[in-house]
Amino acid sequence: MIRLGKHITQAGDQLYDVSIEKLHKALINPQGEVASLQRKLQAIRAMDPNQYRKMKTSLPYIVCAQFHPKARRKENFLFTERFLIDIDHLSDHELNIQDLRKKFAQDERVELMFSSPSGDGLKLLFKIDPKISDSSYYVLFYKAFCIHLEKKYLLGTALDHKTHDVSRCCFVSFDPEAYFNTNAKAINPADFVRKDSFLDLEQVQFQADQILKSQKEIQKVELSPEKSQPGQDLSDEILAFIKEKTGQRTRNKTPEKYFEQPEELEKIIAELQVFLDEVNSKIENIKPISYGRQIKVSSGNTWAEINVFFGKKGVSIVPTTKTGSHREFAKTITDYLKASFSTY
């Protein structure tokens, strides 16, 4: 059994016992709450990483340790029979997630394996026997095992050595490929660091400090965001005004066409603006089209055009191919809005 929480930002959030089997079923359920939330989060991540980090806290989380009372605090720690390893930012470290899945599936000690909410990392769950009830010893064992795992699988700084606190939690995520080994071999902590050996403890701490130092140096290098592609889009009214002032001939405006507009569209557009606000985007322009609206959405200097329709099957959203519309932004905002309307 491990513990499950649902409101990580709430102080003293109540934890509930959950079996590994039940957790695994939740991870692979495409119709579950976690799957719906994650689809929305992944769309947000592509547009606004900062907003993604904030909204990720809406996901349920797990923690391995047992606490009394059942609130995730160090002073409430009783013991732990499992621990989680976090391997993240795989693409930055040129590690292939599918290759790692295959390797870890061959490790008889891995009880559960699933991808991180970002889709660019893996979480590994291991059993401990005997259980650990000393939080200080747990920290050193965790560091010693991380050193072992990093060397065995050449993980480098992708393996997070800092998640060694007994109260540390892990967000769950939808992963149809989540791996569950019902016959996982338990790990004896003494095989990695002996509690009564000062030399063992000192060596582990020294190696862990060296690794942490190298990780901090690497993390100083920040990835530059993808350059936006600002569009240049002038309205017909502005062009006509300029031509008139410079003596150029202007074409007479053709009568506006009539388009069928379902009543539900007004509410849909209002909801759409709320969803866009969550990712620092806004509506620049709206035009009626048959059974829908053509909408220009912007974020900073980047803009994209999408079509929003309402019909018998509900809301549908598709990106347009208008010249100047940022293709990647159009696809990302479309995916995000689809996920938002599906969970609204």
What local confidence, expressed as pLDDT, does residue 260 receive? 75
- What 3 state SS string does the chain have? CEEEECCCCCCCCECEEECHHHHHHHHCCCCCHHHHHHHHHHHHHHHCHHHHHHHHHHCCEEECCEECCCECCHHHEEEEEEEEEEECCCHHHCCCHHHHHHHHHCCCCEEEEEECCCCCCEEEEEEEEEEECCHHHHHHHHHHHHHHHHHHHCCHHHECCCCCCCCCCEECCCCCCCEECCCCCCECHHHCCCCCCHHHHHHHHHHHHHHHHHHHHHHCCCCCCCCCCCCCCCCHHHHHHHHHHCCCCCCCCCCCCCCCCCCHHHHHHHHHHHHHHCCCCEEEEEEEECCEEEEEEEECCEEEEEEEEEECCEEEEEECCCCCCCHHHHHHHHHHHHHHHHHC
Mean pLDDT of the region 81-102: 94
Task: Count Cβ atoms within 10 A of the Cβ of residue 219 and give its class: 0-12 exposed, 13-18 middle, 19 or more buried.
Answer: exposed
Question: Which pTM value belongs to this model?
Answer: 0.65
**Which is more confidently placed, 247 or 9?**
9
pLDDT tens digit sequence for 172-231: 999 999 999 999 999 999 999 887 664 566 666 666 666 566 555 555 554 444 444 444
pLDDT digits 0-9 by tens, 133-163: 999 899 989 989 998 999 999 998 898 877 7
Domain annotation for the chain: domains and CATH numbers = 2-219 (no CATH), 236-343 (3.30.310.240)
Report the greatest alpha carbon distance in the chain: 93
Q: Average pLDDT of the chain? A: 83
- According to the model, what pLDDT value does residue 53 have? 78
Structure tokens belonging to residue 338: 């689809």
* Contacts of residue 240, Cβ cutoff 8 Å, sequence gap at least 6: 250
The position carrying tokens 């159009």 is 330
Binning pLDDT at 50, 70 and 90, where does residue 76 land?
Answer: very high
**Would you say residue 247 has pLDDT above 90?**
no
Average pLDDT over residues 287-294: 88
At residue 283, does pLDDT exceed 60?
Answer: yes
Burial of residue 186 (number of CB atoms within 10 Å: 0-12, 13-18, 19+):
middle
Which tens digit of pLDDT belongs to each residue from 102-144?
A: 999 999 999 999 999 888 899 999 999 999 999 989 998 998 9
Which pLDDT value is given to residue 65? 96
Across 58-72, 237-251, 253-267, the highest mean pLDDT is recorded for 58-72
State the pLDDT confidence band at 74, using cuts at 50, 70 and 90: confident
User: Is a pLDDT exceeding 90 seen at residue 32?
Assistant: no
Winning range, highest mean pLDDT, from 47-51, 91-95, 264-268: 91-95
Q: What mean pLDDT do residues 249-278 have?
A: 74
pLDDT reported for residue 40: 84
203 versus 310: the higher-pLDDT residue is 310
Angle at 295 between CA 293 and CA 301, to 5 degrees: 180
Q: For residue 113, what pLDDT is reported? A: 98
Beta bridge pairs of residue 14: 71
Cβ-based neighbour number of residue 86 at 10 Å: 18
State residue 226's pLDDT score. 45
Which comes out higher in pLDDT, residue 307 or 48?
307
Distance CA 274, CA 269 (A): 9
